[in-house]
Structure 1
Amino acid sequence: MYPKIIKTIDQFNHQEIGEDRKAVLAPLIEFIQKRVEGKQAVDINFICTHNSRRSHLSQVWAQIASAYYGVPKVTCYSGGTEETAMFPKVVETLQDQGCQIITLSRHENPVYAIKYDDQRHPVIGFSKKYDHPFNPASGFAAVMTCSQADSGCPFIAGADQRIPVTFGDPKASDGTPEQAAVYHDRSLQIGAEMFYVFSQIK
């Protein structure tokens, strides 16, 4: 992995994960553990309303965490209840925290290759509905990263399990002097929690 990502991972040790959050994350740990024990593919689709911020951060950090801890056959996806675009500040934040970002296409909904290691496939990031053909059609965990999507989308077709793991929306800081710090901190929180999840897999 890139040295700057390792430095970011080191910061996860300073992110406190309370017992309440560990309880929220427990069903995701259980899903992954059962798949690993059964030598099955571990497909996780992180879902938020617009697939623009939290779902992408969750997808990227979960994929990095699976590689860091050597958990096999993990592929992380993301989607929304509607398609918009990956928010530029998310791209900047991931770059600042060590990822290499390659823009594959430039239009209203850009497509990015998000690299964290030269020897591994990049995460492909772009906004899409959760049931887009790019995402798995069955056998996956649907992880709801925002309460609006969780309440507004009561049924996710094809999901083996639906798991709410919601995060505060950094969008509230957009256009303020605190924006960069808020996105940085939210990314660290999400990263720390995804690393905690994969650290528990045996």
Structure 2
Amino acid sequence: MYKKLIETIAQLPKVNEERKEILKPLADFIQQKLANNKPININFICTHNSRRSHLSQVWAQIAADYYGIGNVHCYSGGTEETALFPKVAETLIQQGLNIFKISEGINQIYAIKYDENTQPIIGFSKKYNSPFNPIAEFAAIMTCSQADGGCPFIAGAEKRIPITFEDPKISDNTEAQSQVYAERSLQIAAEMFYVFSVINK
């Protein structure tokens, strides 16, 4: 992993007990799949697939690699397709990732790398049931209350788990934007790292 990313990971905030309880069903899902030698497919879902779902997907994939838990495939999607918000990519770059665009347009496609020798995570906005995502045997992680309330049924999901985060969008067009996005990214990173840290290999 990149040196700056390792430094970011070393300084992640602590996860409180209340959040640990919220995260437990995801850890249980991962542990069960691992015990049965099955692929671990996780789809992080938010309304626009532009901010929280991407941050969750990226940090969960990094955490799985960091803790040496193989066969983990993280995805993201929305109840509608928009675009990966540029500030998300900018924030992840500042926290140690290498990100570059592989297509232009309204819904740009990004290659997101956390290590020189690993395949990039492909980041772009899509609906949760996009052909890019798994159609069965996955955990649907609802990262915002709007998606959780607005999507009573996720076809193909083996398990549906609400793990909601406050939207950093509230800081857009304010002086606090960079700080709010950085803090939200680090919170999500800390929680995904906690989840994978409690898995017994």
Q: What is the Cα deviation at residue 120 of structure 1?
A: 1.2
Amino acid corresponding to residue 97 of structure 1 in structure 2: Q
Question: Structure 2-normalised TM-score?
Answer: 0.99
| SS at 1:92 equivalent | helix
Counterpart selection for 1:100 from 81, 91, 98: 98
Match of residue 64 from structure 1: 62
Counterpart selection for 2:109 from 104, 108, 111: 111
Ranges in structure 1 where 5+ consecutive residues have no aligned partner: none
Is 1:88 the counterpart of 2:76 in the alignment? no
Q: Deviations over 1:82-122 (max 9, x none)?
A: 00000000010000001101211000000001000112111
Match of residue 6 from structure 1: 6
Question: Structure 1-normalised TM-score?
Answer: 0.98
Q: Deviations over 1:17-63 (max 9, x none)?
A: 11110000000000000001111100000000000000000000000
Give distance in 2, aligned partners of 1:100 and 1:22. 29
Ranges of 4+ aligned residues in structure 1 off by more than 6 Å = none
Q: What is the Cα deviation at residue 16 of structure 1?
A: 2.5
| SS at 2:165 equivalent | coil
Higher mean C-alpha deviation, range 113-122 or range 141-150? 113-122
Match of residue 172 from structure 1: 170
After superposition, where does 1:41-56 map in structure 2 within 5 Å?
A: 41-56=39-54
Give distance in 2, aligned partners of 1:16 and 1:39. 30
Ranges in structure 2 where 5+ consecutive residues have no aligned partner: none
Identity %: 64
